[in-house]
Structure 1
């Protein structure tokens, strides 16, 4: 049994702690619960196969993350008897016109051979879209990806914390200097990492999500994730026709989590674009500070102070976080990993 101290209780730190504790190691998590933690302000979409990013190292990571999700959630919920909010109702990917829809269908379908977990991929007419998601606009054609899903970040973190404790780990809310910690130190401080270390270089973006409710009678609990045009996406957040739409991307050096009225108005306007025939009642805006490292590729490895760092998960933290926990726990336990973690241990 080894001793591990994890500084930072977001999705990366919590998942690593859970997988290490499950192996019987001594695990202590220090989580000061910073406001703006990215995991709490994420839509939690698990559908990496639709991305147009060409970074193969990044894609291998999120592909393995999506593959791991069903088994991971099943085990975690059985261990903790705690729901995570995981749903796999598919993803509707909207496109501007039929030509772009066809190109996207060919691009996404080509990934099926290496990712059978993505399920079927089908083209949807505007009428098909309306039939599957009655509230949604029928202005755009779409591609449906059967394996797409979503996870509630807050519920997942609650379940992971409970799992750490169930396996004998400790979870403390104290602030701590990583250099003062015992055993192998794993630093997963997200946007706040620069407080103690300059490498790897971490920057962050403010991302805002508008939560709202539609004035409709039908139940929206089982509607698929919607990948809108550009960076916009929509997820259902409850059985009472509640949704969230996002996101904004604001590069910043600040750590303010006060919602912007300008961004709220922008997101409300986008919501009206996708739900043109129904009244929209704004509820609140959630703000997260998403950490990014070089090339928007997560960093996983030792820094110059021999502290093990995991950071830079960015907008796909909830997709990659669980499998990073598994892989890092295997690596630090001296076991074989499915991914080559050397791909992520770079420096500027």
Structure 2
């Protein structure tokens, strides 16, 4: 019997869910994706997958993020994702003083035991950082090198997985939808009925569930990043990404392209306006590490909206009292790391597989009322 599944939202949660639902074990599924594509965090995201040295005390989040990092690497390998979308080149994390660096190293040694994907973390000097990332001229601090760290381009990642799914059982519809009830969606004046619906709508999840009188503990956060064209003959392949203390992330992509960002703005709601003042702040980070970067070196500035909960924790699962509705949201700035595993867990739930969500999150009722 054919099962009809709808996915609302084409970001990292939606695209990964579509990919998993296109596997052979779901051959009897018809999957429809509805995606408006406005303000989507993933399309504006290029980031770093390296959660292992986070000092967040939330053990459930850390389990989700570390398992997510492992899953992203697996997906990249099994789908033959190219280096533009995902590259495991390592991460450098710097600290201003030796005491902070030593503290971070102790965390690394402890977490290496249960997270082999992070690799063997090593101290790295300022000069060694310059050798690994030759475009850097002004590395002010020593750091740690995490071999398992990776960079990811959210838009390219999603498109890669959607291309695979569309060859199998996925149809994509562009535009805004309205959720009528647990099983029906209004799209361009027509009502479509499904067996299950996955809400992968990020910060817009509150809006789409309002018609069903379901309220979420969720708020939007604006993020902006820039891509710079740096005319520098010292660009090399496989440069690590860097997370400098007190600066924005530094992500060399190769072929003279450098990404800086992204910002975190909690006060602008769903405003997607590009801000030149933010570009200037991001260019300043670049100039603190390499010389003579100017605003006219910006080739692209991206703006997106992330979804956050009050305790900064993602949540997923079946919406209580609505057995046909599934949701995954609240990913915040870790979305490129946690989004894929959130998707896989949702798909497992749809297939009635036994999984223990308690290891990853508080009860979903914490975030829904």
Residue 10 (1) aligns with residue 28 (2)? no
Q: What are the within-5 Å matches in structure 2 for residues 234-273 of structure 1? A: 234-240=250-256, 242-252=257-267, 254-273=269-288
Say if 1:215 and 1:278, in contact at 8 Å, map to a contact too: no
Residue 29 (1) aligns with residue 13 (2)? no
- Tell me the CA shift for residue 203 of structure 1: 0.5
Number of matched pairs: 342
Aligned equivalent of 2:312: 296
Cα separation, 1, equivalents of 2:100 and 2:135: 23
- Tell me the CA shift for residue 74 of structure 1: 1.9
Change (3 A) 1:284 1:216: same
Bigger CA drift: 50-59 or 167-176? 167-176
Say if 1:298 and 1:311, in contact at 8 Å, map to a contact too: yes
Residue-by-residue CA offset, 1:294-343 (whole Å, 9 max, x unaligned): 31111202335612111111111111122222221112101233754664
RMSD over aligned CA atoms reads 2.0
Cα separation, 1, equivalents of 2:282 and 2:177: 37
Say if 2:8 and 2:14, in contact at 8 Å, map to a contact too: yes
Aligned equivalent of 1:191: 203
Q: What are the within-5 Å matches in structure 2 for residues 306-321 of structure 1? A: 306=322, 307-321=325-339
Aligned equivalent of 1:160: 161
State the SS of the aligned residue for 2:254. Answer: coil
Cα separation, 2, equivalents of 1:145 and 1:126: 15
Aligned equivalent of 1:107: 107
Cα separation, 1, equivalents of 2:88 and 2:43: 20
State the SS of the aligned residue for 1:296. Answer: coil
Cα separation, 1, equivalents of 2:83 and 2:241: 19
Structure 1 unaligned segments of length 5 or more: list them: none
Cα separation, 2, equivalents of 1:233 and 1:170: 36
Residue-by-residue CA offset, 1:232-272 (whole Å, 9 max, x unaligned): 211123312x1111122111354232211211111111211
Aligned equivalent of 2:135: 135
- Tell me the CA shift for residue 231 of structure 1: 6.0
- Tell me the CA shift for residue 111 of structure 1: 0.5
Change (3 A) 1:342 1:315: closer
Instruction: Tell me which protein shows more strand as a share of its residues.
Output: 2
State the SS of the aligned residue for 1:297. Answer: coil
Aligned equivalent of 2:175: 174
Say if 2:250 and 2:259, in contact at 8 Å, map to a contact too: yes
Say if 1:327 and 1:338, in contact at 8 Å, map to a contact too: no
Say if 1:161 and 1:171, in contact at 8 Å, map to a contact too: no
Cα separation, 1, equivalents of 2:45 and 2:227: 11
Say if 2:126 and 2:143, in contact at 8 Å, map to a contact too: yes
- Tell me the CA shift for residue 84 of structure 1: 6.0
Structure 2-normalised TM-score?
A: 0.87
Structure 2 unaligned segments of length 5 or more: list them: 186-193
